[in-house]
Every structure is written in structure tokens, then in C-alpha cells.
């Protein structure tokens, strides 16, 4: 199976972001003919104010972003792992930071809400309080992609190994991590964490990222980019260039099986108390 990652510089202009997503999906399909495509975290709307986020959010399966991803999957005959989108949850005053995956016919095959909220202060002193606007999810999610099991995670989940062990326990062979890692944390931690998670889980790790600057409630902030595909030995086998674009690689299931047989960590785990 051939997989592809799309890298975007989304901003607080939903229409512009969706046009860019459509363009990049079309380009990667024409150039690479992938079977599966992953977009970055909140590709539909990045930054802005709380009120603007609420306006941009959708109640699935209605909405422009959801409809675009469904239609592109059907139009191009590919699986689309739709990064994450702003989901309005009925009865809640906070939004979901939500992945939706579509099969080649455009049918929804999975929905995952980000579990770990990015509530941190970065080294440059900027505060991020994702939980103020986003409601954390609770469910570990995998789905079948024509015989390959895909595990779902989003951005800050990357720092919590337990979720990835749970995904492997459910059979994950590829783990998708749409992201919007900050420049400050990304330059030191992004690659090493992606490679570590791939090594620990012995999966292909597909990490699509936001890149460049955006405006958050009047502040200029920056994301790190460097979308990458890491193989189950921890080697980076594909990486996006600076700026919006895409990258791709082939997944070799035999390589996963061979490495898991050689270093059988899943069988050797010891329960610790």
C-alpha cells in the first residue's frame, strides 16, 4: 500500500483552507497515486478566536469540511484520513478536535476525538490552553484499510506512550498522527518522538503536520512542519520539504511482521506495579 501525507499552512480562513486542501489532495493523487492520504490537524481552521472557531465548527456529517473530504475520497477513489476538523458536539459548549476517516467510496469508517489536550507553556513563554475550547475524547480508535489496521492519534497524544500501546494491542500496523506541533517544541522533540513511537510500536508512523505562521487571538504563532513517515525500525523514509506540500512512501507489511518476530517486544512485556 502507498500512503501519502499532506502538509498545510492553515489559517483562520476556512474557505481558503478548504480550497488549499482540495488542491493538495488533487496534486498528490496525480503525482503519487496513493491508496491512503492523511491531512494535518485542524486543516479546516487554524487559530482565530474562540467565537471564530465555534462558527467554523461543524456537526458531522453535515458541513463543508466533512463534505469535501467525503467527496474527495469518492472522486479520487482513495482512503482519506481527514487530519482533524473542528466538530461541534450537540449539548456541549466545547468542540471536538476530531479525525474522520473515509474509504474509497466516501463512507465514514472511523471517528476519533483527540484525547490529550495541549495545555502547556512553551519555552518562549506562550500559553496554550486547548481544553478551554476543546473537549477531550475518551475512545481508542482503529479502523481497517483493506486488510491493514490504522491507529488514530492527534498531535499532543504523541507524548503519551500508553495510547500507542493500546493501538498496537488493537492490531495497529500504521499509526496516523495529524499534528500542528509548535515551532518551539517541534524543533527539539518532533522527530525524536515520532521515531520513538515507531520503534516502540513496530509500526509505520505517518505524521502529517501544519507548517508556518498563523494568527491566534491577535498573536502570531508558528508550527514546525516536517511531516514524515517513519518505518517500524525507526528510519525516516519520507519527509516533506518546507512549506505546504506532500510526501509519500510504500508500506511493507512483511517488514512489520519480520521485525516483530526478530524483536518480539509485544510478547515480552512485563506487568509492573
Q: Which of 41, 53, 87, 145 is catalytic?
A: 41
Q: Are 178 and 41 in contact (CB under 8 A)?
A: yes
Rg (CA), the chain: 17
Cα distance between residue 157 and residue 154, in whole Å: 6
In tens digits, the chain (273 residues) has pLDDT values of 999 999 999 999 999 999 999 999 999 999 999 999 999 999 999 999 999 999 999 999 999 999 999 999 999 999 999 999 999 999 999 999 999 999 999 999 999 999 999 999 988 888 889 999 999 999 999 999 999 999 999 999 999 999 999 999 999 999 999 999 999 999 999 999 999 999 999 999 999 999 999 998 788 999 999 999 999 999 999 999 999 999 999 999 999 999 999 999 989 988 887
* DSSP conformational letter for 40: P
Q: Residues with Cβ < 8 Å from 187, sequence gap 6 or more?
A: 224
Tell me, yes or no, if 194 is annotated catalytic: no
Q: Residues with Cβ < 8 Å from 233, sequence gap 6 or more?
A: 198, 199, 255, 259
Q: Are 4 and 248 in contact (CB under 8 A)?
A: yes
Q: Residues with Cβ < 8 Å from 75, sequence gap 6 or more?
A: none
pLDDT given at position 163: 98
Architecture in CATH of 2-268: 4-Layer Sandwich (3.60)
Q: Which of 38, 145, 152, 155 is catalytic?
A: 155
pLDDT given at position 72: 98
User: Which residue stretches of the chain are H helix?
Assistant: 14-32, 50-56, 64-76, 161-169, 183-201, 253-262, 265-268
pLDDT given at position 218: 84
Q: Which of 14, 53, 114, 135 is catalytic?
A: 114
Task: Map residue 31 onto helix, strand or coil.
Answer: helix
Tell me, yes or no, if 114 is annotated catalytic: yes
pTM value?
0.96
Tell me, yes or no, if 269 is annotated catalytic: no
pLDDT given at position 272: 85
Cα distance between residue 128 and residue 122, in whole Å: 8
What's the farthest any 2 CA atoms get from each other in the chain? Answer: 52
Amino acid at each position: 500500500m502507498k500512503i501519502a501525507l499532506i502538509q498545510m499552512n492553515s489559517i483562520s480562513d476556512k474557505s481558503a483552507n478548504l480550497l488549499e486542501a482540495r488542491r493538495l489532495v488533487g496534486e498528490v493523487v496525480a503525482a503519487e497515486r496513493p491508496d491512503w492520504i492523511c491531512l494535518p490537524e485542524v486543516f479546516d481552521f487554524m487559530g482565530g478566536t474562540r467565537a471564530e472557531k465555534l462558527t467554523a465548527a461543524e456537526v458531522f456529517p453535515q458541513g463543508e469540511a466533512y463534505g469535501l473530504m467525503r467527496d474527495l475520497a469518492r472522486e479520487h477513489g482513495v482512503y482519506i484520513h481527514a487530519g482533524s476538523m473542528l466538530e461541534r458536539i450537540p449539548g456541549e459548549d466545547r468542540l471536538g478536535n476530531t479525525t474522520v476517516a473515509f474509504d474509497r467510496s466516501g463512507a465514514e469508517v472511523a471517528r476519533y476525538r483527540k484525547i490529550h489536550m495541549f495545555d502547556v507553556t512553551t519555552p518562549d513563554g506562550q500559553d496554550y490552553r486547548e481544553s478551554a475550547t476543546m473537549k477531550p475524547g475518551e475512545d481508542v480508535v482503529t479502523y481497517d484499510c483493506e486488510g491493514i489496521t490504522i491507529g488514530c492519534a492527534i498531535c499532543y497524544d504523541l507524548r503519551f506512550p500508553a495510547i500507542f500501546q493500546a493501538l498496537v494491542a488493537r492490531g495497529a500496523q500504521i499509526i496516523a498522527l495529524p499534528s500542528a506541533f509548535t515551532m518551539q517544541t517541534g524543533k527539539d522533540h518532533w522527530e525524536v518522538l515520532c521515531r520513538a513511537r515507531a520503534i516502540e510500536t513496530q509500526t509505520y508512523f505517518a505524521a502529517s503536520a501544519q507548517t508556518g505562521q498563523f494568527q491566534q487571538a491577535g498573536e502570531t504563532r508558528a508550527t514546525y512542519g516536517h511531516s514524515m513517515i517513519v518505518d517500524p525500525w525507526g528510519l525516516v523514509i519520507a519527509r516533506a520539504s518546507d512549506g505546504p506540500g506532500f510526501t509519500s512512501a510504500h508500506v511493507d507489511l512483511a517488514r512489520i511482521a519480520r521485525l516483530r518476530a526478530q524483536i518480539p517486544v509485544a510478547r515480552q512485556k512485563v506487568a509492573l506495579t
